[in-house]
């Protein structure tokens, strides 16, 4: 089963996020990660969903997403050039004498140390998901206390996708 | 602003919008959250409000109206329990793509989320069973929302739309302006099919030796029955129909093979199994049609025309998909057909199958059977009636034995299989159809699920002909128990627990009769057909243990088709 990253532009309407999530759960499709945020257009949000399935399932997912009234554009980014990033906050234990080692790892991953106490440190690491996995892997030797991952955000490389402005029909 | 004649309350705007959508009927039930609307309704004369006796009945009535008329069915209910009572009907409309708009009352905006009296999150509840739904948050958005609701419900692949109306929105005022047009940028149905694909389809059909048209409800919804008739007849193509497709092509036409699938005819299913080109028009390869997907029609080249892209390759992978409105695609396809295929041999083969295993039932033991009653109803109405059924064996027998001549005549709950659909849906259909008889055929079980709507038929003096095929069993479940569950007739025998249907009807004020004598059927049907100003109910007490055949068990292949009861001793 292949992993796919799907980018969805949705109207900023009440419940639009829920419609997408409900479609996935109602049809039994998997969500590996999901993120949502504002875009350059005020009334549009972008959702990025990482899902998995064979070609038939992915085809259905894309069609079912398109079928929702609040989705404006659905693109399966997998297979075309695109950028994927994720942010992770990793709270790691600092056993005596290992502060330097953890700092080194943080530097290698170009992370930021965003919080520090006597016994723990919180690192902020950004990058493609496999980079974050690698960082977590290395840090687990010290004991990981908590992790928060943002889920993937992604953009297609090159040209932007054009969005039509909706006629304002409210009274 | 206040002096502007267009300065109106939400309730007034609501009716102005319905007027512009040419709404003739609302099926509804009042309550606290919609009192303001009902206050205005009191003085509205351009539409008629039909008071049902349960909100589920309102939705099914709206569905029946929509299916019979082709227009949008409209429902109005209150918040909380009024809204949740519509859920089954909405799910039914979603599965069968019926265009309805359901207006639900809602508690005032500031109370939403407070567990206020009669609050229910109906927008959340109905999200997976609506084509779309709206919570109106500001009276200024009301008119455009209603416009969008009707547009979304009735275009593309039709479906139910819910509009939730908070009490304060209905009461507050703004200047009313109805939008001339709608623009929903995330919703652009494809009507015109891809011309290259259509050309290719025409070539393939022309060269076919054993082509078959497999026709669904989409042909009826898109109003392409005429086009289909011409296309099939000119090219001598046999036609099989899904449950929802019945009526799309005349059932009495020699090219009609009747229904396919689980309880389809032997010859239709053999044709599906042996065709070399299958052309699906507005059908969705549902599991009641395909059985085991791997063995379904696996020798044929498959062409699939559907307006909904999600229907394509969902259940069965096809060779040539065409996304578009059947009406447009059929017109183009017909124009592209240069040489009709030679189907003489193929049609002869199908005829052989027809003779090999015709639809049949026991006629000589003097006992009354559902199949016989339905055959007689067909004869009396000459296939011209609007026939509404409930769900169960009687529904399948109607599909097999009633040969619909016209589209929008077969009204039945297919996708959801909702018992209790029949009576209210036939009431809705009666408002839409005045020039042909409307018949409701129900089982004794399902009839009790919305029996309260009898009074709606009486009060509105609908000339509805209600026929109960009473086999004293939840017959279809009984059939499965006999065939697949070791004859454990667990809670399906209603023999000792059915009400006296004649007395019940009389209590509602309906003239009613009951018989178990085959010789009385004709005269009773004549009586029913002669009444035109009020409903009539006839209970036919039929054989208890009859089963619907042929049957392809769920998930099985055509080779597993059962054509008759293997152990006739099971009949008492
Ligand atoms: C609301 C609902 N509940 C349960 C079922 C399951 N079910 C399908 S057919 C059937 C039996 C229907 O019995 P009856 O109405 O007497 O019709 P018959 O099959 O005897 O013609 C039942 C219980 C259903 N389809 N709908």
> Which among B144, B312, B314 has CB closest to A170?
B144
Instruction: Name B74's Cβ contacts closer than 8 Å, sequence gap at least 6.
Output: B18, B23, B25, B26, B27, B62, B100, B101, B103
Q: For a ligand 1 pocket test, name from B391, B418, B425 the mutation site with the most ligand atoms within 8 angstroms of its C-beta.
A: B391
CATH number at residue A43: 3.30.70.260
In terms of domains, do A18 and A88 share one? no
Cα distance between the two ends of chain A = 49
In terms of domains, do A95 and A137 share one? yes
Q: Which domain holds residue A126?
A: 83-149
ipTM of the shown complex: 0.91
Mean pLDDT, residues A32-36 taken together: 95
Distance A62 CA to ligand 1 centre (A): 36
- The answer to whether residue A158 sits within a structural domain is no
CATH number at residue A99: 3.30.70.1150
In Å, the largest CA–CA distance within chain B is 81
Contact A91, A120 (CB under 8 A): yes
Q: How many CA atoms lie within 13 A of A11 on its CB side?
A: 18
In terms of domains, do A124 and A135 share one? yes
In terms of domains, do A66 and A8 share one? yes
CB contact under 8 A, A169 and B179: yes
DSSP single-letter state for residue B255: T
DSSP single-letter state for residue A111: -
Torsion angles phi and psi, residue B406, rounded to 5: -125, 150
d(CA B67, CA B69): 6
Ligand 1 site, residue B393, Cβ cutoff 6 A: yes
Task: Pick from A10, A41, A69, A73 the residue to mutate for testing the B interface (most B CBs within 10 Å).
Answer: A69
Nearest alpha carbon to residue B169 among B134, B139, B135: B139
Is B294 in the A-facing interface, judged by CB distances under 8 Å?
no
- The answer to whether residue A98 sits within a structural domain is yes
| Residue burial B499-508, b: 16+ Cβ < 10 Å; e: rest | eebbebbeeb
> Which among B123, B128, B140 has CB closest to A171?
B140
CB contact under 8 A, B177 and A171: yes
Chain A contact set for B127 (CB, 8 A): 15, 18-19, 22
Taking only residues 134 to 163 of chain B, the set having a beta carbon closer than 8 angstroms to any beta carbon of chain A reads 135, 137, 140-144, 147, 152
- pLDDT tens digit sequence for A120-168: 999 999 999 999 999 999 999 999 999 999 999 999 998 776 777 766 5
CA dihedral A99, A100, A103, A109 (to 10 degrees): -130
Give B418 to chain A, closest Cα distance, Å.
20
pLDDT in tens, chain B (572 residues): 778 999 999 999 999 999 999 999 999 999 999 999 999 999 999 999 999 999 999 999 999 999 999 999 999 999 999 999 999 999 999 999 999 999 999 999 999 999 999 999 999 999 999 999 999 999 999 999 999 999 999 999 999 999 999 999 999 999 999 998 999 999 999 999 999 999 999 999 999 999 999 999 999 999 999 999 999 999 999 999 999 999 999 999 999 999 999 999 999 999 999 999 999 999 999 999 999 999 999 999 999 999 999 999 999 999 999 999 999 999 999 999 989 999 999 999 999 999 999 999 999 999 999 999 999 999 999 999 999 999 999 999 999 999 999 999 999 999 999 999 999 999 999 999 999 999 999 999 999 999 999 999 999 999 999 999 999 999 999 999 999 999 999 999 999 999 999 999 999 999 999 999 999 999 999 999 999 999 999 999 999 999 999 999 999 999 999 998 876 655 54
Both tokens of A144, joined, read 């990981």
Angle at B559 between CA B555 and CA B563, to 5 degrees: 95
- The answer to whether residue A169 sits within a structural domain is no
In terms of domains, do A74 and A90 share one? no
Looking at the annotation, which residues of B are catalytic? 55, 117-118, 167, 476
Angle at B418 between CA B412 and CA B419, to 5 degrees: 95
- Domain boundary among the residues A38, A57, A80 is at A80
Domain count, chain A: 2
- B144 to chain A: closest CA residue: A170
In terms of domains, do A71 and A87 share one? no
Distance B441 CA to ligand 1 centre (A): 13
Distance A93 CA to ligand 1 centre (A): 62
- Listing DSSP states for B83-95 in one string gives HHTTHHHHHHHHH
Give B62 to chain A, closest Cα distance, Å.
23
| Residue burial B319-338, b: 16+ Cβ < 10 Å; e: rest | ebbbbbbbbbbbbbbbebbe
DSSP single-letter state for residue A68: S
| Residue burial A136-170, b: 16+ Cβ < 10 Å; e: rest | bebbeebeeeeeebbbbbbeeeeeeeeeeeeeebe
In terms of domains, do A34 and A99 share one? no
- A71 to chain B: closest CA residue: B186
- Partners of A147 in the β-ladder: A90
- Listing DSSP states for B51-107 in one string gives E-SSHHHHHHHHHHHHHHHSS-EEEEE-STHHHHTTHHHHHHHHHTT--EEEEEEE-
* Per-residue model confidence (pLDDT) at position B132: 98
pLDDT confidence of A113, banded at 50, 70, 90?
A: very high
CB contact under 8 A, B135 and A72: no
Is B4 in the A-facing interface, judged by CB distances under 8 Å?
no
Domains in chain B and their CATH numbers?
Answer: 7-175 (3.40.50.970), 195-356 (3.40.50.1220), 370-549 (3.40.50.970)
Nearest CA to ligand 1 atom 8: B392
* Per-residue model confidence (pLDDT) at position B566: 74
């Amino acid at each position: 089963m292949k992993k796919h990253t799907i980018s969805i532009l949705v109207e900023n309407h009440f419940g639009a996020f829920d419609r997408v999530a409900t479609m996935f759960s109602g049809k039994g499709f998997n969500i590996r990660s999901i993120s949502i945020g504002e875009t350059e257009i005020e009334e549009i949000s972008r959702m990025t969903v990482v899902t998995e399935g064979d070609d038939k399932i992915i085809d259905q997912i894309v069609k079912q997403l398109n079928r929702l009234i609040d989705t404006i554009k659905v693109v399966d980014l997998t297979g075309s050039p695109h950028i994927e990033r994720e942010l992770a906050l990793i709270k790691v234990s600092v056993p005596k004498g290992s502060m330097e080692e953890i700092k080194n790892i943080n530097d290698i991953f170009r992370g930021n140390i965003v919080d520090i106490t006597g016994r723990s440190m919180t690192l902020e690491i950004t990058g493609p998901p496999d980079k974050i996995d690698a960082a977590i892997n290395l840090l687990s030797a010290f004991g990981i206390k908590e992790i928060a991952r943002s889920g993937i955000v992604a953009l297609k490389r090159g040209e932007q996708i054009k969005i039509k402005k909706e006629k304002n029909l409210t009274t | 602003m206040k002096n502007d004649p267009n300065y109106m309350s939400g309730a007034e705007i609501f009716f102005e919008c319905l007027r512009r959508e040419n709404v003739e009927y609302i099926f509804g039930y009042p309550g606290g959250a919609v009192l303001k609307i009902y206050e205005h309704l009191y003085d509205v004369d351009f539409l008629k409000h039909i008071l049902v006796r349960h909100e589920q009945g309102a939705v099914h009535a709206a569905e029946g109206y929509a299916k019979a008329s082709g227009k949008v069915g409209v429902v109005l209910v209150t918040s909380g329990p009024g809204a949740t009572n519509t859920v089954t009907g909405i799910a039914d409309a979603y599965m069968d793509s019926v265009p309805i708009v359901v207006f639900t009352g809602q508690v005032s905006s500031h109370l939403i989320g407070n567990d206020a009296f009669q609050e229910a999150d109906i927008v959340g509840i109905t999200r997976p069973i609506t084509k779309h739904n709206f919570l109106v948050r500001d009276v200024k958005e009301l008119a455009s929302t209603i416009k969008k609701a009707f547009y979304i419900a009735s275009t593309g692949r039709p479906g139910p739309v819910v509009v939730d109306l908070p009490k304060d929105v209905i009461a507050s005022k703004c200047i009313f302006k109805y939008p001339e047009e709608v623009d929903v940028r995330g919703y652009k149905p494809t009507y015109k099919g891809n011309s290259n694909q259509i050309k290719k389809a025409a070539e393939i059909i022309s060269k076919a030796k054993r082509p078959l048209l497999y026709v669904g409800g989409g042909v009826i919804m898109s109003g392409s029955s005429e086009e289909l008739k011409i296309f099939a007849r000119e090219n001598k193509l046999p036609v099989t129909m899904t449950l929802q497709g019945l009526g799309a092509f005349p059932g009495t036409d020699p090219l009609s093979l009747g229904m396919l699938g689980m309880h389809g005819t032997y010859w239709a299913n053999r044709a599906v199994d042996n065709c070399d080109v299958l052309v699906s028009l507005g059908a969705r390869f549902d599991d009641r049609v395909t059985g085991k997907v791997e063995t379904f029609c696996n020798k044929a080249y498959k062409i699939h025309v559907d307006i909904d892209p999600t229907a394509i390759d969902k259940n069965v992978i096809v060779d040539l998909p065409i996304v578009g409105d059947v009406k447009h695609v059929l017109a183009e396809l017909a124009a592209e057909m240069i040489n009709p295929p030679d189907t003489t041999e193929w049609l002869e083969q199908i005829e052989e199958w027809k003779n090999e295993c015709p639809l049949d039932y026991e006629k000589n033991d003097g006992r009354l059977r559902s199949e016989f009653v339905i055959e007689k109803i067909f004869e009396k109405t000459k296939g011209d009636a609007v026939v509404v059924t409930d769900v169960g064996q009687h529904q399948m027998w109607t599909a097999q034995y009633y040969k619909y001549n016209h589209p929008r005549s077969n009204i039945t709950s297919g996708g959801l299989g909702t018992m209790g659909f029949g009576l209210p849906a036939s009431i809705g259909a009666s408002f839409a159809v005045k020039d042909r008889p409307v018949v409701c055929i129900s089982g004794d079980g399902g009839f009790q699920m919305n029996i309260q709507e009898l009074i709606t038929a009486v009060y509105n003096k609908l000339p509805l002909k209600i026929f109960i095929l009473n086999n004293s069993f939840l017959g279809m479940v009984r059939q499965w128990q006999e065939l697949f569950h070791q004859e454990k007739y667990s809670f399906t025998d209603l023999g000792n627990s059915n009400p006296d249907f004649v007395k019940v009807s009389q209590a509602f004020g309906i003239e009613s009769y009951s018989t178990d004598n085959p010789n009385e059927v004709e005269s009773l049907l004549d009586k029913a057909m002669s009444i035109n100003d009020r409903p009539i109910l006839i209970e036919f007490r039929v054989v208890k243990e009859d089963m619907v055949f042929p049957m392809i068990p769920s998930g099985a292949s055509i080779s597993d088709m059962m054509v008759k009861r293997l152990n006739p001793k099971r009949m008492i």
